Structure 1
Amino acid sequence: MLEALGLSTAESQVYRTLVGSGRCPVDRLEQGTGLAGAQLDQAVAALAAKGLVALTDDLPAQLIPAPPDIAGETLLLARMDELQSAKGFLKQLTKEYREAHRPAALEEIAEIVPAEVLSQRCEQVQLSARREVLRFDAPPFLLIDESNAAELEQLAAGVRFRTVYDRAAIEGYAAQLEIRRYMDAGEQARVLARLPVKLIIADRSTALLAVRTDDGRAPGAVVQIHQGPLLDALVALFELVWDTALPLEPSPGEVHRGELSGSDAHLLLLLLSGLTDDAIARLTGIGKRTVNRRVRALMHLAGASSRMQLGWQARERGWITAQDLDGLQPSGNG
């Protein structure tokens, strides 16, 4: 047990013997401890240096043990000081280790994008794509300019863009016009009640990732993700969200849903997602009066006297599915 205080096994044996016997000639220790010669002399000298025993000038010399509660406490405090010093040294070594090894490993996976070059990096990542760009778009936005010129340039060059918009991103009049512009240029766009993060992925080889904020503050740290398991996970996340999200315009081969045509079913989903008639008109490229007329026709067909009743009847008649409803509901506070 005394080894914890820095005593060797031989030193502990000698001190325990002395504590039990009291004042004792050196030569008697050989019988009590089984130690002899140089091993015993070294143990006694070490105990004396630690203040645990005292040697008299008698012949033969006598050994007097120090009281354990006094000498032991002093030794314990000294040991604690040594351990604290060792702890501080370990912290310094840990810091040196991380500085020497960890940054290089992290740079292979991700890097923090400085705020001063964030807008430029967003543009560069999109322009680097040769096949496809995948995006989660939610406010506040990463680009300084209201218009994403890089997307329009890439769409004209034949690069495919698939974007899932957070519902909050398409509520403003200007945003709706801008999204309509991208869709007219070839963007495939969908909407989800709430996106978990802000994301841009270029050719599945690099990505920009940011945590969204809801109080108008600028995005927090933006990280560029390089090829590896983390990027693969982000691509998988995008595909899962894409499958759940609601298309902002019907696909060419969209089929009827019960009594509804594909376009009417799509209009109904946009309406139930919480978009206003004005927003639906701008996003679909039809007039507001046409939207009103088609909604009234849907209400008449469902026998509903209000839009709330229309939503309930749509679920009962199979015009919308459980998967559609999942895409209309916020997924959390993230």
Structure 2
Amino acid sequence: MFTGLGLGGHEEEVYLQLLTTPGGSVQWIGARSGLTTTQVTAALESLAANGLVDRSAALPAVWSAAPPDVALEELLLRREGELRRARRRITELMRAYRRGGPGAEAGELVEVITGRDSVAELWRSLQLDVRDRLRILDRPPCVRRFDPETELAVLQRGVEMHVVYESRALRDPDRLAEIRSFARAGEQARVLPDLPLELALVDDRLAVLQVSAGSELPSVLLVRPSSLLDALVGLFELYWSHAMRLPATATADAGVTPEDHRHRQLLTLLAAGLTDESIARQLGVSPRTVQRWVRELMDRFGARTRFQAGIQAARADLL
């Protein structure tokens, strides 16, 4: 039962014996299991190191089993982490192997990763390994597999995350809700009507660049430190500087006037590229009211277009 968790038959037998009683000594366990004192002692030490058994505080010679729903789950999570690290190590070994082949010097700078599962595993490992900063151009449809829990864990580690979303990403209410949850967790999110590509920059060490959009077999380029990586960093900063800041939430904040709150909601939906009719349905008003609110917003900031109004609103810290 426990082989996949890195435990042997003796550890399993001892743990199962202790599950049936409030506590037992080495001799009692040996008598019940048929194991020698040396085997029981070694098994108990291994189980204790993995958090599966404990000594009694009052009677040090008595051992008891930890609840399996907690202890085994924690052990399983540790094993999963070890497997992920082993998988990343295999990837590193393959890169070393390729470096030893013909044309290895040029191949060190850019590597092609093909296949949905391979791309997903690469993206997950990069998120787990990021140290200081993650910068993303998010252009749907995304070739990487999206994992909200992993991104929230990255933010909780204090990693600085800057993301520019193409407006199409905000049209799905569920996706928009996720993006707002990331913003509340610390992600700095901005939006542009169009993006040229999907890109992720991991610290200043690596870049992941989509090969082509809409292909049946997803592929990405893994770019290492080079003039190409420097150019991709410059490309991101250019789009970041022109993007409109995205409100973190559509709920009213303390100290925000009803007009500013309404403008925040309106700007979020405009940034998503929704029509006046769609915005009206979401806000529960008429299209004519939406058009009036948009005109008020443009007049307020002296903007000639809706997007200019969004830029001016961001500069005024409305967003």
Pairwise TM-score range, normalised by the shorter structure? 0.5 to 0.7
Query: Which secondary structure state, in structure 2, belongs to the residue aligned with residue 111 of structure 1?
Result: strand
> Which residue does 2:235 correspond to in 1?
237
CA distance in 1, matches of 2:292, 2:217: 39
CA distance in 1, matches of 2:110, 2:234: 18
**TM-fit CA distance, 1:134:** 0.4
Conserved? CA contact 1:212–1:219, under 8 Å? no
Conserved? CA contact 2:119–2:218, under 8 Å? no
Change (3 A) 1:106 1:321: farther
The residue correspondences of 1:130-145 to structure 2 (distance < 5 A) are 130-144=131-145
Superposed CA deviations along residues 95-148 of structure 1, whole A, max 9, x for unmatched, are xxxxx998323223211013241100011112221111001112222333x433
Change (3 A) 1:310 1:229: same
The residue correspondences of 1:221-260 to structure 2 (distance < 5 A) are 221-249=219-247
CA distance in 2, matches of 1:181, 1:269: 18
Amino acid at match of 1:210: Q
**TM-fit CA distance, 1:159:** 0.7
> Which residue does 2:173 correspond to in 1?
173
Change (3 A) 1:219 1:260: farther
Change (3 A) 1:220 1:277: same
Change (3 A) 1:265 1:118: same
CA distance in 2, matches of 1:241, 1:120: 27
Query: Which secondary structure state, in structure 1, belongs to the residue aligned with residue 142 of structure 2?
Result: coil
Identity %: 31
CA distance in 1, matches of 2:166, 2:217: 15
Change (3 A) 1:167 1:101: same
Query: Which secondary structure state, in structure 1, belongs to the residue aligned with residue 198 of structure 2?
Result: strand
CA distance in 2, matches of 1:317, 1:327: 11
Q: What is the count of residue pairs matched by the alignment?
A: 204
Conserved? CA contact 1:193–1:327, under 8 Å? no
Change (3 A) 1:277 1:248: farther
**TM-fit CA distance, 1:292:** 5.2
**TM-fit CA distance, 1:280:** 8.3
The residue correspondences of 1:1-334 to structure 2 (distance < 5 A) are 103-115=103-115, 116-144=117-145, 146-211=146-211, 213=213, 217-218=215-216, 220-249=218-247, 263=261, 265-273=263-271, 274-275=273-274, 291=283, 305-308=288-291, 310-312=293-295, 314-320=297-303, 324-325=307-308
CA distance in 1, matches of 2:277, 2:128: 33
Conserved? CA contact 1:108–1:226, under 8 Å? yes
Task: Work out which of the two has the higher radius of gyration on C-alpha atoms and give 1 or 2.
Answer: 1
Change (3 A) 1:207 1:272: same
CA distance in 1, matches of 2:303, 2:248: 14
Conserved? CA contact 2:183–2:189, under 8 Å? yes
Conserved? CA contact 2:199–2:209, under 8 Å? yes
Change (3 A) 1:249 1:185: same
Conserved? CA contact 1:122–1:143, under 8 Å? yes
Structure 2: which 5+ runs fail to align? 1-99, 250-256, 312-319
Structure 1: which 5+ runs fail to align? 1-99, 252-258, 282-287, 300-304, 329-334
CA distance in 1, matches of 2:114, 2:182: 28
CA distance in 1, matches of 2:202, 2:306: 28
Conserved? CA contact 2:297–2:309, under 8 Å? no
**TM-fit CA distance, 1:184:** 2.5
CA distance in 2, matches of 1:326, 1:243: 16
Change (3 A) 1:180 1:316: closer
**TM-fit CA distance, 1:322:** 6.7
Amino acid at match of 1:325: Q
Conserved? CA contact 1:244–1:324, under 8 Å? no
CA distance in 2, matches of 1:242, 1:134: 10
